[in-house]
Structures are given as C-alpha cells and as structure tokens.
Amino acid sequence: MFTLEPAAVLRDVTLRDGLQLTGGMLSTERKLATIRSLLALGVESLEIGSMARPDLVPPMANTLEVLAELTPAERARCWVWVATPRHVERAAAAGARNFQYCFSATDAHNQANIGRTTEASLAAMPAAVEISRDVDGQIQLCIATSFTCPFDGQVDPSRVVQIAQDERAVGASHVVICDTLGQAVPAQVSSLITRVRLETPAREIVFHGHDTWGLGVANTLAAISAGATMVDGALGGLGGCPFAPGASGNTASEDILFATRPPWLTPDVFGSLVRISETLLMELGEPNRSKAAQGARSPAKAFDWVL
C-alpha cells in the first residue's frame, strides 16, 4: 500500500474552509449526511463549521444546528473554527468539544478577517482556553498567514515562533501553521514546522495548506516529514479565505490521501470518496481541482485506483 511514514491524520475541512469562499449553501441535513459519510469511510477528523458572523460568511450560518444534531461520538472527531471566547462558549453549549482558535500572524489580515489586532486575539486566548477546559474539550492555536500576508507580504518566521511561544497560548493542544495564500514552498514549510517543533512548547503540530501555486501536496508532505501530525485538506480542492485576496482552494483531500495512503484507504474506499466529492461539488457548482480524482476517472483500467 506504500503508506507514508511518518504518518499524519487528515482533517477534512470541506464544510468550513471549503464552503466559506464559494458561498455555497448546504442545509443542515446535507451537512450531516456528508459528515457521516466521511466518518463512515474512515476519515479520522473533520472541521464542520465556523462561528463567524453569518452575515459575513453565510454558509456557516447553520453550524450550531449541525453540532446539536451530531452524536457525542461524532463530535469527538469534529472541529469548529472560533475566534473569540464567546465563540467557544456558544459552540460548547451546542456540544462542541474541539475548538480551533484562529487569528493571523499579521495585524492587517487579522483586522480584515476578525476585526481586531493580533495582540487582542492573543490576549483573549486564555479565556477561550478556560472555557474549553470547563467542558473537558481541547483547543488549537491556529496561526493564519504564517508564511505570507495578502496585505503585508512575507511574514518573518520568527513572528510565528514568537506567537507559538507566548505563554497566553500555553493551553493549546495543537498549533496550526497555515499557508493561507498557498504561496509557500516545501523548504519553507519544512523550516517553519521544524522551528515550531523545536522552539515552542511540546504539542501536536497541524499544517493547513492551499494549492494556489500548485504545491499543496508537496508542502503537506514536507510538513509531515518535519513533524506535523495532522494536515488539512478539502474535497476537490474546494475553498479559500474570503478576506485574503489571492487565496484559492485548499489542498485536495483526495490528493493528500492518495499520496499518504493511510491504512484505512483502500481503492474501493478511495472510489467512494471521489464519488462523494463529485456529487457535492456538482451541487455547489464548483470545479473539481483534485488531480487524484481526475486520475481516478482515467481510462487506464489496469490500475487498481481507477474507478
């Protein structure tokens, strides 16, 4: 099966980062069906929504309704994007136990995305950590624009390391390093992930990549080799940030899975995943950017992974 070692868990972010740029609206029932289909196939982790204002990001409007309908076992494998202690409180009341507390390495993007400075977001994190602990949950420190900012350009890696070292983020279970614009290259990703692993408090490292410049899979593999234990992807390469000019879709989940070959991924399971992705993208009117999904439709039938 050629499983990649070291291994990393895929977190599929289709229903959060995947939907937010498209404007595609999915009902609560449709989101629940997608979540349950992916979990049943073996996808270990999902990001299923956001507490962002629904007037600014309409596809996230029913996140609380989705959370309320999930079982505790399903919620244990699902993450919710949050940016304030109040977000954590509201999501927790609906049953969430896994929170991704996100802000940007640069003030310019944080102001555009969240409406406050990076320092203000960091200052509020201890309260968010405390709320997550009160419900026996876990919270991630998510650093957007870790490599480049659409307004300020290149980000100094030491800035990212400094945020990850900050004592106010000590309660985070993971640190998420985000290539929000998809402009990083593998050596750059490897260098920053290594620095975070060696120079900041011990915790799991997540890599969130985009495929804007065609290096999504290469950057993901570089992150895993450098120590990331979870990586993000979206079905068909869907998504992007509505507040980051130049951002395109996420690295495709199908491409990451085909490259890493986790033990649960068989050719039959991969085929089911491709079909789920194709159906969803057709409903949303979005193109399928996954190279592996395109390969699965190849006429070269002798290859086990072709449908």
Span 88-140, pLDDT tens digits: 999 999 999 999 999 999 999 999 999 999 999 999 999 999 999 999 999 99
Annotated catalytic residue, options 142, 149, 178, 241 = 241
- Give the single-character DSSP code of 303: S
Residue 91 belongs to domain spanning: 9-266
Query: What confidence score (pLDDT) does residue 24 get?
Result: 75
Instruction: Evaluate whether residue 306 is within a structural domain.
Output: no
Kindly tell me if the per-residue pLDDT of 240 is higher than 80: no
Could you report the per-residue pLDDT of 211-227, keeping only the tens digit for each? Answer: 999 999 999 999 999 99
Instruction: Evaluate whether residue 224 is within a structural domain.
Output: yes
What average pLDDT does range 3-21 have in this prediction? 94
Instruction: Evaluate whether residue 288 is within a structural domain.
Output: no
**Residue 220 belongs to a domain with what CATH number?**
3.20.20.70
Instruction: Evaluate whether residue 293 is within a structural domain.
Output: no
Report how many domains make up the chain.
1
- Summary mean pLDDT of the chain: 95
Instruction: Evaluate whether residue 290 is within a structural domain.
Output: no
Query: What confidence score (pLDDT) does residue 241 get?
Result: 66
Pair of tokens at residue 15: 């229903």
Q: Which residues contact 50 (CB under 8 A, 6 or more apart)?
A: 16, 20, 57, 60, 63, 80, 81, 82
Instruction: Evaluate whether residue 21 is within a structural domain.
Output: yes
Q: Which residues contact 83 (CB under 8 A, 6 or more apart)?
A: 51, 52, 101, 102, 103, 114, 121
Kindly tell me if the per-residue pLDDT of 244 is higher than 70: no
Instruction: Evaluate whether residue 285 is within a structural domain.
Output: no
Query: What confidence score (pLDDT) does residue 73 get?
Result: 98
Q: pTM for the full model? A: 0.96
Query: Between these two residues, 290 and 243, which has the higher pLDDT value?
Result: 290
Tell me whether residue 241 is one of the annotated catalytic residues.
yes
What average pLDDT does range 164-181 have in this prediction? 97
Instruction: Evaluate whether residue 51 is within a structural domain.
Output: yes
- Give the single-character DSSP code of 252: B
Pair of tokens at residue 73: 């076992």
Query: What confidence score (pLDDT) does residue 247 get?
Result: 67
Confidence of residue 245 (pLDDT cuts 50, 70, 90): low
Could you report the per-residue pLDDT of 62-90, keeping only the tens digit for each? Answer: 999 999 999 999 999 999 999 999 999 99
